[in-house]
Amino acid sequence: MAGWARAVRGLLLDVSGVLYDSGADGGVPIAGSAEAVRRIKASGLKLQLCTNETQATREDFVRKLRAMGFDISVAEVTAPAPAACRLLKERGLRPHLLVHDDLVPEFAEVDKTNPNCVVLGDAAENFTYANLNEAFRLLIGMEKPVLISLGKGRYYKETDGLKLDVGAYMKALEYACDVQAEVVGKPARRFFESALAELGVPPEQAIMIGDDIVSDVGGAQQCGMRALQVRTGKYR
């Protein structure tokens, strides 16, 4: 075994495309993934799920994973929405939300009156022209527009094929408003640092495992971690 592998104390796992393929019916686990999680935990390695999931609250997300056979708790999930809420409160920002309906409860304690920023997530069917245009008008009308994106993925895999991810819509608003989005989820360094803090190990003692060469592997490497790409999910 390589020396660096012996020094590993913890794993960060992406979820969609690594543990399961999402879908309109809730998705299906990838063969062997639930058993792999059990073996990781039994080995004594620390485990944290590091996901850009923004179509559900963490509680609902964990309930879905547990129904699929994964032994996971809410505390073992690092997701963009809670990180975005902390950022909004720290900076006194009041968001206009363009997110999935099921994610809205995550922002229940955030002031959303008279918005001074736009928060963008994987809104799925809410990515209509009218909704995107409303976000555009808010941003273009601000003296200093603030666009916060809960990720920048290009696409992801569901059971019925590949789907456009939030990054495509983020780029559209960036271009239209001549603004650069602040990314809260992967591959943002701050997001990985937050996941490592929750994992409780330094970057040199952790490995990130994902199906996205940019957001998972590239983001982790820029944070000082080693990373592995699986050949499931969006892997081409």
Tell me how far apart the alpha carbons of residues 37 and 87 are, in angstroms, rounded to a whole number: 31
Q: Are residues 132 and 174 in the same domain?
A: yes
Q: What percent of the chain has pLDDT over 70?
A: 97
Looking at residue 205, which CATH number applies to its domain? 3.40.50.1000
Whole-model pTM? 0.88
Q: What pLDDT, on the 0 to 100 scale, is given for residue 3?
A: 56
Q: Are residues 164 and 110 in the same domain?
A: yes
Q: Look at residue 24 and tell me whether its pLDDT is greater than 80.
A: no
Query: What is the SS3 assignment for the chain?
Result: CCHHHHCCCEEEECCECCCEEECCCCCEECCCHHHHHHHHHHHCCEEEEECCCCCCCHHHHHHHHHHCCCCCCHHHEECHHHHHHHHHHHHCCCEEEECCHHHHHHHCCCCCCCCCEEEECCCHHHCCHHHHHHHHHHHHCCCCCCEEECCCCCEEEECCEEEECHHHHHHHHHHHHCCCCEECCCCCHHHHHHHHHHHCCCHHHEEEEECCHHHHHHHHHHCCCEEEECCCCCCC
Asked, for residue 205, whether it belongs to a domain, the answer is yes
Mean per-residue pLDDT of the chain: 94
Q: What pLDDT, on the 0 to 100 scale, is given for residue 5?
A: 64
Q: Are residues 115 and 95 in the same domain?
A: yes
Q: What pLDDT, on the 0 to 100 scale, is given for residue 68?
A: 95
Q: What pLDDT, on the 0 to 100 scale, is given for residue 138?
A: 98
**Domain count along the chain:** 2
Q: What pLDDT, on the 0 to 100 scale, is given for residue 2?
A: 57
- The parent domain of residue 200 ranges over 6-52+186-229
Q: Are residues 101 and 38 in the same domain?
A: no
Q: Are residues 175 and 191 in the same domain?
A: no
Asked, for residue 234, whether it belongs to a domain, the answer is no
Asked, for residue 63, whether it belongs to a domain, the answer is no
